[in-house]
Structure 1
């Protein structure tokens, strides 16, 4: 029998959205209400199921840390503040109790997990993360597609703003998820943070990233602080502004578009692009010339290459939206 315990801030819209008629109110503390969620189709319970339910309640409620729950709910509200954008940050008021819940000075790393399927996060994923990380961390469920975990850097000791160690940790975590978890999950993370204000700020940025990650799912691998800057910039522009980058004519030729993708991946290097595509350099030159004739963009020039990259990104976004 599947049952769940969850907590929400009292008398908020989020409580109304999350609660349904099958949930049983358990208790309220510090303006946090805790509910028991039962299967919707269940109306009668056997003695065995009641015993299982009591055992579940004991295990989860006795181990529940009210301050931790309060922190999780507060962070979620801060990260999902709709008045915030990456161009218009809001002033952050930190309650005194937040600074006492965790030792923020030891450094914490926010990690966002993103999945495409709209469904509740499986608790066994958290158990998998506990078995792999073996560090102090707490999780905050943002939505059915987003889960944030915040890991202590006390034992990890990843240097602040040093990319090598963070990249190694990130790729190790990603490889573990790919090997041990059946559903595809994208991961985004930031450098260690030792101020709660910065944790909120960078957590908000990760949530903003989710919008374009969903739109460019197949083209996104791992989100690191120094990667995907162009995507972040482009998708922060309003839709009307993005239309300026879309030409009336763009070659609907898979071969030419694949050539451009590899050309950009190889940093406009003609020799490496030709080698990867198993074609002669002259053939590559011919294809790039065809692109120039069709678009008036000479992608061997940096400025034109950037414009072409943006157009291809937006075209892929249109294709993804059409599929959805």
Structure 2
């Protein structure tokens, strides 16, 4: 398409002697680029896009006589089919995976039918080098959500690794009654994980967040899921399903830049907190999971309470940090995170 358009533009320029050009921009920046071009007196006469870029033919409006402008559509190749709503959404949301921020395009908002909240799931593939069988995934999800609302389920590939799944809440299968909505979202996330890992034979992390009541909420929810996905891969690599309200300390650590992360690690190392043995790490992990409750931790580890206290005393002597004290426990928890990610 690009080469064909270049050829046609050169032919038109030679035949008319009038200025005309072929331009390109990133797909996520198309709306902003179009507004800029038109504000500077330009007119877009043709455009086409793929997932990554937009090409458009533009002319300076004042330089073209009305009669020549009327003939221009006849000289250009037929217009390409415009992007689908899903493709427009992908182009918009892909920018957030790269750390950029773009407002919801007005053209997309005008046509995006969003009549009810959508559950938001981020699916992270472990092996980006494997080809993505998108049609297979879509068919699996269509079978998994048999509700009439399933036609509004969107699976949006944002990269070779990340796919965003948007599901109308009325299309979600019924689950056992839960004490709160978050438990319900996690139940659905676990169901998705079982389906995808079993049927696609891929290792997939499923992150879930609060439902989106409007498309404008998607960037913030997507950023939460992306941060949680990084935290799980870096610090909780055995966990394959989680909600954005879980693992706040791991998410904080994953949000740090490399220099800050290394500075924290060195600081903990100087305190002697980075010399934990696997057995000590197991004890601390159980202690933190049971909210520093000694009796519950001892039962979980099948240890006598006095044996656990003895081992905690030994750890205190080694690190000068007492895990039974909240402030020291925080430092030890950080040490565990940075030690396993060293």
TM norm. shorter chain > 0.5: yes
Q: Please say if residues 113 and 148 of structure 1, whose CA atoms lie closer than 8 Å, have aligned partners that are also in contact.
A: yes
Distance 1:190 1:127 in 2: 23
Distance 1:31 1:298 in 2: 63
Residue 276 (structure 1) aligned with residue 276 (structure 2): no
Q: CA deviation at 1:221?
A: 3.4
Residue 267 (structure 1) aligned with residue 291 (structure 2): yes
**Match in the other structure for 2:120:** 110
* Structural mapping, 1:299-314, within 5 Å: 299-314=323-338
**Match in the other structure for 1:186:** 205
**Match in the other structure for 1:229:** 248
* Structural mapping, 1:1-324, within 5 Å: 11-12=24-25, 31-33=48-50, 66-83=83-100, 90=101, 92-119=102-129, 120-123=131-134, 124-134=136-146, 135=150, 136-156=152-172, 162-242=181-261, 243-245=263-265, 246-248=268-270, 249=272, 250-318=274-342
Deviations 1:22-47 (A, max 9, x none): xxxxxxx8532489xxxxxxxxxxxx
Q: TM-score, normalised to structure 1's length? A: 0.70
Q: Which structure has the larger Rg over C-alpha atoms?
A: 2
Bigger fraction of residues in helix: 2
**Match in the other structure for 2:14:** none
**What SS class does the counterpart of residue 212 from structure 2 fall into?**
coil
Deviations 1:77-132 (A, max 9, x none): 3423524xxxxxx5x53222212332224112221111221223223233222211
Using CA pairs under 8 Å that are at least 6 residues apart, name the structure with larger relative contact order, 1 or 2: 1
**Match in the other structure for 1:61:** none
1:277–1:77 Cα change, 3 Å? closer
Q: CA RMSD for the aligned pairs?
A: 3.0
1:238–1:79 Cα change, 3 Å? closer
Distance 1:144 1:34 in 2: 12
Distance 1:176 1:234 in 2: 30
1:94–1:244 Cα change, 3 Å? closer
Q: TM-score, normalised to structure 2's length? A: 0.67
Point out where structure 1 has 5 or more consecutive residues left out of the alignment.
1-9, 16-28, 36-63, 84-89, 319-324
1:244–1:140 Cα change, 3 Å? same
Distance 2:216 2:94 in 1: 14
Q: CA deviation at 1:178?
A: 4.1
Q: CA deviation at 1:76?
A: 3.1
Q: CA deviation at 1:287?
A: 1.0
Q: CA deviation at 1:13?
A: 5.9
Q: CA deviation at 1:313?
A: 0.9
Deviation larger for 127-136 or 304-313: 127-136
Point out where structure 2 has 5 or more consecutive residues left out of the alignment.
1-22, 29-45, 53-80
**What SS class does the counterpart of residue 327 from structure 2 fall into?**
helix
Distance 1:188 1:95 in 2: 26
1:225–1:211 Cα change, 3 Å? closer
**What SS class does the counterpart of residue 164 from structure 2 fall into?**
strand
1:219–1:176 Cα change, 3 Å? same
Q: Please say if residues 297 and 305 of structure 1, whose CA atoms lie closer than 8 Å, have aligned partners that are also in contact.
A: yes
**What SS class does the counterpart of residue 125 from structure 1 fall into?**
helix
Distance 1:221 1:34 in 2: 28
